[in-house]
Structures are given as C-alpha cells and as structure tokens.
Structure 1
Amino acid sequence: MHYSHTVQQALGFLLGLTDEDTAGRIRERIGLPAPAPESPEETRRRMYRVWSWPRVPASLPLWILQEDDPELNAVVWYHVGLDAGLRRAVARGIPFGPGRTEPVPVKRDLPGEEPEVPESYVRHGLVGALRATTGMAAGRAAASMVLTPADWHTVTEADAERPLPGYARWALSVRPDCPPALRAQFGSHPKFAHRVRQTGVLAGPAAYATDHGPAVGVLEVLAMGRLMFPTRIGEAEDALRPLVRDHLGDDEEAWAVLAQIVGTFHGTAPELVVTAGAIA
C-alpha cells in the first residue's frame, strides 16, 4: 500500500509509542516502510513542511525557541514574520529555556532585520509605551519590546498596580511566551479566553496532541518533535501513549484500520485511536 509522506509521519509517530518489536511487526502488516536515513537537506525540508499546516499552533515557535539552538532559531525566524516580539527576541539572541541566561548565538545569514523599535518605547519606556496604547497596532508594537523574564516581571507588577489598557493586555496575552500567571491576571472573560484559543496559544504539546485536529496534521507536526522541540515532545507522547496502548496495543487489525482512515479523519488524535480500535 502506498502512503503519503504525511500519513507515514503520522503512523510513525504513533508506532513510536509502542515497543520496537510491536512497531516492526505492525509496519510489516500494514506495509509501512521503516524510517530511512535522510540527508540534512531532507531534514530541513521536513522542518519547513511542518509550517504548511494551516492550524499549526502559535505556541509551536515557543517550544522550539526553548531549545536555545541557533539552527532551530533560524527556522523559527522564517515563520514568525508577524510576531515582532519573537522575531526581535531571535535577532537579539534572547534565551527561552528555563533558567538559561546566556545569549543564544545568532546566525549571521538570517534574512531581514530586527523589527523597528517603536517610537513610543523610545519616548516613554516599556511600561509607558504599554500605558499609552490606544489601538491594536500600537499595542502589538509596545508588546514586542517585552523580551526577557525581567521585562515580563515588570509588566506583571505594573498591571497589578494599575491595569494596563485593554489593547495592551490583548497584545501581551496572545504572545505565546506570556507567563500563564500574567494571562490569568488579565482576567477570564469568555471573549478574552476565546480569542487566546483562536490564536493557538496552548498550555503545552499535550494540549495540542489531545485537543486539536485533524489528527494527521497534528501527528505530522509531533513527528518532528524530537528534532524541533525535544525538551517538550515527551508531554505529547505521555498524553497519547496510554490511548495507543489501550485501544491499539499489538492488535494488527486495529492498526490496519487506523492506517486506512488516518489520512481523511477530521477529529483529534485520541478520537482517531479510539475509533480505529472500536472498528477493529
């Protein structure tokens, strides 16, 4: 049976949640080729392909940046053109990994430049620029200057002392690196929470693995996790492994059903796994 690249990646990720013997036997049963060694160019193409899915979460760049790897940062640089804050952080070598303080080396051949520093920031400073916000564009511009943990702490204290304008709060809250405690401090109005969800800001890879679809696209992104965000991919694997064990296990027929439906299944990965097991 011929499988598209996307389906191969999705099946490979789920098989990776089983033991080696089971994975080998299932691959043979469903006619799925074993992973082949690939060149650096092929790996790079796969990394860029990840971003072709229309529902890639806004938090994906953050998970990658948390590796503090110059090569991975260069990949992110190409795909966060509208997020001036993350783009500025990459250009300045800001570290994102927990507890890291040393600057991340910046590749010299990155195309383009750091976004222009907002005039309001030059005139009023960080908190002053946020307080002067009167529209979404100004809010995004001011929010793009919040880069380090110290900056986020300053903003948190300023908002606690006197709430920031709504546009500033919104621009900060949809930043994937906004601390959850600060986002909660901004409030829990249903419209506010809905907008954050629409943007694709997630608690972590586990939420992406279990709550988003279509499953084949989510699984293809997760299949790149060990290359692109190895520190966080375990969260997604731990969330899906019990479902794979309980509903697929070493049942060859269940895996055969999954291989047939994964490419056109519109639900989430857990729904896919449960459905395949039930049909078998």
Structure 2
Amino acid sequence: MRENTRAQRSVGFLLGLVDEETAVRVRARTGLPEPETPAQARGRVTRAWTWARGLEASVALWIMENDDPQLNALVWRYIPTDSGLRRAIARGVPFAAGRVDPLPVDVTLPGQEPEIPESYVRHGLVGALREVTTVHQGRAAASMVLTRADWATVGAADRERPLPGYARWALNVRPDCPPSVRAGFGTHAKFTHRLRQAGVFESAADYVASEGPAIRVLEVLSMGRLLFPARLKEAEDALRPLVDEHLGDREDAWAVLVQLAETFHGNTPELIVTAGAVA
C-alpha cells in the first residue's frame, strides 16, 4: 500500500476532528485515503521523518514524556544541538509525570552522552552556572540540569542571587524548564522571541498557532496519537472550533484545503480560514 502524501496526512488529521458522516463524504469528494492504521503509523515513525529535521524542542520533549526507550533513541537523532535532552536520554532520565525510577536505555542508541563540562566537575551545578560568561558556557552548564531536583536547585539559586544572563538564557530555552523557574527569569520580549526560535512552546495549543508552514505542524500532529498522546487533545481542542466554523461539512472547502496544504506558507489557523474563505 502506498504511503499517503504529506498533504493527505495533514488534511486527514483535521478531518479527524469532524463527525464520521462528514469525513466519509469529504473523502469521497476529495479522494483522501482512509486514516492510517496504527501499524502504518508505526512504520512511518521507524523510517526517516521528513518533518523531523530540526525537530522542535518541545515536540521532542513531548515524545520523551512517553518514557519509551525506543522512541527516545529515535528522538536522539533529531536533536543534535540539544545537549541537555541528549544527556537525559543517555542517562535514562524519566519525564512522565510522577515517575522517578530511571529508564532502560535502548541498545540501539546512536551515540554517547555529551561531554561533561569541566566547570561542572570543578564547581558543581550551581557553581558552573555562576561561572558562565559566554553563550557556549551557558549551554554547556545548562546541559547538566537533568532532574526535577536539579531544576528546583537552579530556581532556588536564581532567587537567592540572579544567575548570569547567558546561563539564564540557556536554561530558559530548555523545553523542560519548569514554568515556575522560567517565570523567575522574567518576561522580557527577547526571551519570548528566543523561545520561539528554539522551538519551545508553553503548550500544544501554542504549537498549533506557531509560525508556518502549516503542513509541517499538521504532519507532526498527524503522528500525535503515537508520539505524544497525552498532549494531542489540547491541540485538537484548539483546532476544532476553527474547523467547525470554516470547513464544517462543506466538501468544497475541504477540497480547497487539500489543494492549498502543500504550498501554503502561513500557519495552521490561517490555512483553515483561507480554505474556507476561498471556497
């Protein structure tokens, strides 16, 4: 069976937000295939992901929240510059809520733990962060913050005496930085911009409204039931009102959506609204 195109997978995800009767009629009108089976979806995950180049940091974290060693080994390949998440995967750090026991590390993990910074060896966690004077040093020191206890220690240290700016920046753009710790770093517009550049989102609903192209976001979401099921409902709830209002049961609007999806440069809400308006 041939694999669905990116546009078909993306529109198919949105079609899953309407009732089955409407979905059947739209598929008949547009030629969209039936939804992927779980086996097909798993097969697509095990192959190279066309959308995974430069995987957004928060998406990588959401996948890691499954605490699945095989998925973690796959994520490793697409976060080459995120030493913190890579170190966490290599050490079996759990990310699922409430879990404290370390995870087994998949035997196929294609790499080793990033180098431990010398400043950490000499000064410890907080000491290494306080020694930071460059971006590189900040990233290296921040990569040693792994557990919930580490984050609590860092937050307390910053409240006691603010950490250097580069250290704060490196910690702030870690997708696993707890909201309470991030809030202590302030709400400067530069921080918000850097979070977006780093692919860090407060929630799946925030990700839905992120910059285009929409097809990339929708293709990621189309794998959500397999890769980040705990986060998917929030994304679906954010999109469902837009789908109901601008597409609904209008077969012509869905047909336009299929035609636009591959080349549309705006974000996902803009794609949905535009398809409805054009139709």
Residue of structure 2 equivalent to 1:123? 122
Shift of 1:60: 1.0
Contact 1:48–1:75 (Cα < 8 Å) also in 2: no
Contact 1:47–1:228 (Cα < 8 Å) also in 2: no
Shift of 1:187: 1.6
Structure 2 distance, partners of 1:102, 1:172, is: 24
Indicate the SS of the match to 1:217. helix
Structure 1 distance, partners of 2:175, 2:169, is: 12
Structure 1 distance, partners of 2:122, 2:167, is: 17
Structure 2 distance, partners of 1:257, 1:39, is: 26
Q: 1:110-145: CA deviations, max 9, x gaps? A: 122111211111111110111111111111111111
Where in structure 2 are there 5+ consecutive unaligned residues? none
Residue of structure 2 equivalent to 1:23? 23
Contact 1:210–1:240 (Cα < 8 Å) also in 2: no
Given residue 83 of structure 1, which amino acid in structure 2 is its aligned partner?
D
Deviates most, 205-214 or 153-162: 205-214
Indicate the SS of the match to 1:49. coil
Residue of structure 1 equivalent to 2:262? 263
Deviates most, 153-162 or 57-66: 57-66
Structure 1 distance, partners of 2:70, 2:278, is: 43
Residue of structure 1 equivalent to 2:12? 12
Q: Does 1:44 align with 2:64?
A: no
Structure 2 distance, partners of 1:175, 1:254, is: 39
Q: 1:246-278: CA deviations, max 9, x gaps? A: 111111111111111121111111111111112
Q: Does 1:223 align with 2:222?
A: yes
Shift of 1:47: 6.3
Structure 2 distance, partners of 1:255, 1:205, is: 24
Where in structure 1 are there 5+ consecutive unaligned residues? none
Structure 2 distance, partners of 1:107, 1:171, is: 28
Contact 1:47–1:224 (Cα < 8 Å) also in 2: no
Given residue 229 of structure 1, which amino acid in structure 2 is its aligned partner?
F
Contact 2:73–2:110 (Cα < 8 Å) also in 1: no
Aligned runs of 1:1-280 on 2, under 5 Å? Answer: 5-35=5-35, 37=37, 38=39, 42-45=43-46, 48-52=49-53, 56-280=55-279
Contact 2:42–2:226 (Cα < 8 Å) also in 1: no
Structure 2 distance, partners of 1:254, 1:111, is: 44
Q: Alpha carbons of 1:213 and 1:90: their partners in 2 closer, same or farther (altered >3 Å)?
A: same
Contact 2:17–2:236 (Cα < 8 Å) also in 1: yes
Q: Alpha carbons of 1:46 and 1:113: their partners in 2 closer, same or farther (altered >3 Å)?
A: closer
Shift of 1:212: 2.5
Shift of 1:237: 0.6
Given residue 177 of structure 2, which amino acid in structure 1 is its aligned partner?
C
Query: Identity percentage over the alignment?
Result: 61
Structure 1 distance, partners of 2:11, 2:124, is: 50
Structure 2 distance, partners of 1:14, 1:234, is: 13
Structure 1 distance, partners of 2:128, 2:9, is: 45
Structure 1 distance, partners of 2:47, 2:264, is: 22
Count of residue pairs the alignment pairs up: 277
Contact 2:129–2:138 (Cα < 8 Å) also in 1: yes
Q: 1:161-217: CA deviations, max 9, x gaps? A: 000011111111111111122112112222232222221211121111123311111
Given residue 276 of structure 1, which amino acid in structure 2 is its aligned partner?
A
Contact 2:257–2:275 (Cα < 8 Å) also in 1: yes
